[in-house]
Amino acid sequence: MCCAPIARQPLGGDETAELAVLLKAVADPVRLRLLSMIGSHAGGEACVCDLTGAFDLTAPTISHHLKVLRTAGLIGSERCGTWVYYWIIPDQVARLGALFTPLAVPAVTG
Amino acid sequence: MCCAPIARQPLGGDETAELAVLLKAVADPVRLRLLSMIGSHAGGEACVCDLTGAFDLTAPTISHHLKVLRTAGLIGSERCGTWVYYWIIPDQVARLGALFTPLAVPAVTG
DNA sequence: CTATCATTTAGACGAACGTCGAACCACCCG
DNA sequence: CGGGTGGTTCGACGTTCGTCTAAATGATAG
């Protein structure tokens, strides 16, 4: 599956189950915004301390959402002294984009 | 917002809330598969009777998932005599694809 | 070593979700 | 009009999710 065509050919149960895990990870306002903030951060890396301030949520909650994104393979993290930095993993994110692109153009009568 | 850039600029709370609704609609194996089946169907329209057989789920459950997709604006439906037909709404689906495409390429020290 | 700050883990609670069975509505056929 | 079939709506049940507080881990400063 190089481009994950949601259309053109019906997806099987296994594929959708795997992709749904990925989609569930981003199907939350906080996580979507976190992903956006990390992805748009200068240098490609963002510290947790930069992210926490943007929400009216407690630190453990932000940490929880970051863990979900990391478990899904969408972001990576590394501790650098006192602070922890996060970055986007482009390949996994690209799968999401490629999923719906073929559906944007209507199926030309099969 | 012409291309929904998840990266390049951090998304606001309102945008993410709206997009999360769209993502939640497809963040389910059954709905993702339904969307795929409808999108890949010859002629661009699929009858409910064609969809129900592919799952080990009851008809009400399939109907529920179709309603979620329709409420999200991802598919349209019409009754044609005895059967009900569903089709993809490309514009709304395209938003999902455009969301992650800019993130696929790493932020060039933006 | 102790104090302090940044982050994660653990446990608990209310809300939302996915599924089902039963009942209901819309249409076709005699 | 009455019966049968295809789909949907309703109400309920168990599970999962998002959030919190409290406590634990890791790292720097004194």
How distant is C1' of C24 from CA of B83, in Å? 17
Name the pairing type of β-strands A46-47 and B75-80: unpaired
- The shortest CB-CB distance from A11 to any of B12, B17, B32 is to B32
From B15's Cα to the closest Cα of chain A, the distance in A is 8
| Tens digits of pLDDT across chain B (110 residues) | 323 455 556 777 788 988 999 999 999 999 999 999 999 888 889 999 999 999 999 999 999 999 999 999 999 999 999 999 999 999 999 989 888 877 666 555 43
Taking only the tens place, the pLDDT of each residue in A77-93 is 999 889 999 999 999 99
- The shortest CB-CB distance from A32 to any of B11, B37, B88 is to B11
Cβ atoms within 10 Å of B104's Cβ, excluding its own? 18
Q: Does B96 touch chain A (CB under 8 A)?
A: yes
Q: Which nucleotide lies nearest residue B77, CA to C1'? A: D7
Which chain B residues in 48-87 lie under 8 Å from chain A, judged by CB atoms?
54
Minimum Cα–Cα distance from A18: chain B residue = B29
Q: Is the CB of A92 under 7 A from strand C?
A: no
Cβ atoms within 10 Å of A56's Cβ, excluding its own? 7
Nearest one of A22, A41, A48 to B6, comparing CA atoms: A41
| B14 HSE (CA, 13 A, CB side) | 1
Q: Are B61 and A59 in contact (CB under 8 A)?
A: no
Q: Is residue A42 pLDDT above 90, yes or no? A: no
